[in-house]
Every structure is written in C-alpha cells, then in structure tokens.
Chains A and B, each alone.
Chain A
Amino acid sequence: MTLMPLYVLLGSYFALISWRAAHDRLRPAAAARSAFFGILALLFLIGDLLPLPLAGMLVLALAVIAGWGLPQQTAAPTSPQEQHGSARLLLPVLAIPLLTIVLTLSLPHFTLAGVAFTKQSAALYGLACACVIALALALAITRNEPAVARWPAVAICWSRSVGPCCCHCCWRFSGRCLRKRAWAMRWRRRSVC
C-alpha cells in the first residue's frame, strides 16, 4: 500500500497551517511561519514530482527558516477553560495509542482495492486513522471549535449547537474566524448544514 494518501493528508494540513499563519497578524514572524509550512506542504504534496536538487533546496530553506526565521516558542497562557478539565478529556488521548495498536495488528489482514497493507504501511495508516478518529472524538467531547488547527480535509466537524456540519462550512468559518472572531461565533451558531 502506497503512503501517498497519508502524504496528501499531511500536506493538506501543512498547507492549511501555512494559509492560517499568513493571515495571522497577531503572532510574530507570520511570513516565516507561513513559508515554513508552505514548503513542508509542497514537499509532501508534490515532493515526488520535484527534481531532487530542487527538493534539496527546499529542505535547506526549511532548515534556514527554522534556524533563523522562526521565533522561540513560548508556552501558551492558561485559559479559564483549562481550570475545569473533565475526565472525558483522557479518552481522545488514550484513543490514539490504543487505536493505533488495534489498527496496526488488524490492517495487514485486509486489502484495500486489491492492495494489501505491509507491516510498516499498516502501522502508519493505523496511526493516521487513530489521529483522525481521536480528533473527531476530541471535538465531540469538547463540543467546541478546534483550538489550534482547523481540519478541512476531514469532512467531520462538530459545532457547539448544530452537531456535525460539512467541510465547506468549516472552511468558511475557519477563515473568517481569524479576522472577526466574535462575528464568526454568531455566524457559526446560525449555520445549518
């Protein structure tokens, strides 16, 4: 089983972070962060099509941006929500390793479109599927918008009042939310899929 679908998933995620970083004027080094994740997205999405010297130049650019362009990360401030974590929050965290193990052991017994999973690809697909399922679980439990990363590639998103809504709505919401957060919250409550 080829790993290309996983690379596309991860590349889309990096592209999304790059796009968000480019529009995030509140944090420093927006251009550097956007470029960093944009290059990562390129390498994942079309890395196999690039000439190797060009891919090498992109890797060098990644290292230069990481070494000189990005500011030192600091811990995020504690929000009021963080004071009242319920025990259910453990479920998504524990779901990742447990689901990964279950899928790693079970996927080699299945074929997808006539292609069998090798041991390595089963572990990687298991990890990716476990992360996606755990994210859906986390969003369902917290019943809130994703805290850091939007997930438009996955057609599941849970809003506070509506429940699951479609990918397109999440995409639109995520973009506007950056500029007018308060307005977006009102819009989100009204959205009907």
Chain B
Amino acid sequence: MSAATWWALLPVAVVVLGFALRQHPARVVLVAALSAGLVGGMGVVGLLETLGSGFLSVRYLLLIVLALPVIAQVEAHGLRALARRLVGSWRGARPGRLLLGYLALRQGSSALGLTSLGGHPQMVRPLVAPMAEAAAEQEPGGADASERERTRALAAATDNVGLFFGEDLFLAFGAVLLMQAFFAERGVELAPLEIALWGLPTALLAFLIHGVRLLWRDRQRGRA
C-alpha cells in the first residue's frame, strides 16, 4: 500500500480514537470530517461546499424530530410510569423475554416493509426501555443505576438489530435496490427477490444470536 492510501485511513483512525477516548460524538465527527477533507486535498472552499451540500441533501432525516413533542407531552403526563405499571403487573417479567418479543415484532414488521413500526424516539425511549427497566427491577436484587443503563442500552440495541437485519428482507427497501443496481453496473444481474432471499440466513442468525444474548442475560442475572 502506498503512503497516500495510508493517509486516506486517517479519518477512520480519528473516529476510532475519538470514540475510544470517549469524546463527544460531534467533536469526533467534526475532526474526522476536517481530516478527511485535508487528506483528500479538497481545500477549504471545497470542504465547506461538500459539508453544505451533504447536509442539505439529507435534511429530511431530521423529520423524526417532529415526533419528539408528542413523546415529551405524554411522558410529562406519566407515559413512562404507565409502561412500568404495565410490566409491574406481569409476574415473571424479565427484560430479556420482553426484548425478545420486541425483537421478533421489530424484525418481522421490518421484513414486511413496516419500518416505521418502532424506532428509538417513538417506541424505545417512551415504551420499551421503561418496560425493560421495570422488568429489571423485578429481578432478584433489583436494578441499580448501572444495570438500568445497561438495560436501556440493550433495548436500543434490540431495536437496531431488528430493524437492520429485518429491512434487508423487504424487496423494495432502498439498500436492496442499491445492491441490485451496484451489481448490475458490474454486469451481475440479480433480482431483488434473490438478494432478499439470501439475506434470510443472516437475518435468522442475527435473531438467534441476539435472542440468545437476551435470554443469557436473564439467566446470568437470575443466578446472581
């Protein structure tokens, strides 16, 4: 590999180092972007133009912010307490079992193209995470602050796994069409159905691995 190739990896190193040092994500991304522009020889104006056009072209991603006032309103009137109460009335509730059910729902609905049926702002934060926390508190020994944080993280990870590996099974999903177009450009003709079908083993394995991880967590906590 030439020296130029190694320099091109500088932004990746910045990202890895920044997160390893637990720096604020905005700082890490900013420094990585600046280093990428530097090693790419873009110049100041070129870098600014790239940043500006990049942001403006994906502004629509921030539309999910519109859900936040709704969540804030219902949370301020007791949604999280309600979620805890609902789980509290379920004897034998465990975070792993609860999240396993959510994983099945999330992955199944994503495979059908219903990716909006869930998500961190509208489902995990107001409902799934408080329910999982309440279930963790019911376990023998209860849940201290660090265990609650871990449970929240597990709830967020469950949503990620379900969505990421579920949506690849949907024929009309953008990534499937992107893969099809990528291979077609290189002379490999693939039908979206084939791509989706070959995503099935990965999706099943992801479900099994994360499901085992969830149940293993319950078991470990039960023993402790």
Interface residues of chain A, those whose CB is within 8 Å of chain B, are 3, 6-7, 9-10, 13, 40, 43-44, 47-48, 50-60, 63-64, 66-68, 78-79, 81-87, 89-90, 92-93, 96-98, 100-101, 104, 119, 123-124, 126-128, 131-132, 134-135, 138-139, 141-142, 144, 146-149, 151
Q: Report the bound CA distance from A136 to B45 in whole Å.
A: 44
User: Can you name the residue of chain A whose Cβ is closest to the Cβ of B51?
Assistant: A56
A67-B26, A135-B73, A144-B73 provided; 15 other pairs, C-beta below 8 A? A40-B62, A55-B51, A55-B56, A67-B27, A81-B76, A82-B75, A85-B78, A98-B117, A101-B116, A104-B116, A124-B63, A138-B74, A146-B73, A147-B73, A147-B77
Interface residues of chain B, those whose CB is within 8 Å of chain A, are 24, 26-27, 29-30, 33, 45, 47-56, 59-60, 62-82, 85, 114, 116-119, 122-123, 126-127, 172
The 4 closest A-B pairs by CB, nearest first: A85-B78, A55-B52, A56-B48, A147-B76
Establish whether residues B66 and A13, one from each chain, have CB atoms under 8 Å apart when the complex forms: yes
User: Can you name the residue of chain B whose Cβ is closest to the Cβ of A133?
Assistant: B70
Question: Mind listing 28 A-B residue pairs with CB under 8 Å?
Answer: A6-B63, A43-B56, A51-B52, A53-B45, A53-B52, A54-B48, A55-B51, A55-B52, A56-B47, A56-B51, A57-B48, A66-B26, A81-B78, A82-B77, A85-B78, A86-B78, A89-B82, A90-B79, A93-B70, A93-B71, A93-B126, A97-B117, A126-B116, A138-B74, A142-B74, A146-B69, A147-B73, A151-B69
Establish whether residues A93 and B79, one from each chain, have CB atoms under 8 Å apart when the complex forms: yes
Establish whether residues B52 and A93, one from each chain, have CB atoms under 8 Å apart when the complex forms: no
Q: Is the interface of A mostly helix, strand, loop or mixed?
A: helix
Q: Is the interface of B mostly helix, strand, loop or mixed?
A: helix
Q: Report the bound CA distance from A123 to B65 in whole Å.
A: 15
From B33, B45, B59, B82, give the contact of A87 (CB < 8 A). B82
Q: Report the bound CA distance from A66 to B172 in whole Å.
A: 35
Establish whether residues B52 and A90, one from each chain, have CB atoms under 8 Å apart when the complex forms: no
Establish whether residues A67 and B30, one from each chain, have CB atoms under 8 Å apart when the complex forms: yes
Q: Report the bound CA distance from A57 to B62 in whole Å.
A: 19
Establish whether residues B74 and A82, one from each chain, have CB atoms under 8 Å apart when the complex forms: no
Q: Report the bound CA distance from A62 to B78 in whole Å.
A: 33
Q: Report the bound CA distance from A147 to B126 in whole Å.
A: 15
Establish whether residues A149 and B69, one from each chain, have CB atoms under 8 Å apart when the complex forms: yes
Q: Report the bound CA distance from A1 to B50 in whole Å.
A: 25
Residues of B within 8 A of A58 (CB): 52
Residues of B within 8 A of A64 (CB): 30
From A56, A79, A134, give the contact of B52 (CB < 8 A). A56
Establish whether residues B30 and A86, one from each chain, have CB atoms under 8 Å apart when the complex forms: no
Distance to closest chain B CB from A144 (angstroms)? 7
Residues of B within 8 A of A86 (CB): 78, 82
Establish whether residues A131 and B60, one from each chain, have CB atoms under 8 Å apart when the complex forms: no
Establish whether residues A47 and B48, one from each chain, have CB atoms under 8 Å apart when the complex forms: no
Establish whether residues A127 and B79, one from each chain, have CB atoms under 8 Å apart when the complex forms: no
Contact A10-B116, Cβ < 8 Å, known A82-B80, A85-B78: no
Establish whether residues A52 and B72, one from each chain, have CB atoms under 8 Å apart when the complex forms: no
Establish whether residues A93 and B78, one from each chain, have CB atoms under 8 Å apart when the complex forms: no
Establish whether residues A55 and B27, one from each chain, have CB atoms under 8 Å apart when the complex forms: no
Establish whether residues A96 and B73, one from each chain, have CB atoms under 8 Å apart when the complex forms: no
Residues of B within 8 A of A79 (CB): 76
User: Can you name the residue of chain A whose Cβ is closest to the Cβ of B47?
Assistant: A56
Establish whether residues B55 and A55, one from each chain, have CB atoms under 8 Å apart when the complex forms: yes
Residues of A within 8 A of B127 (CB): 90, 93
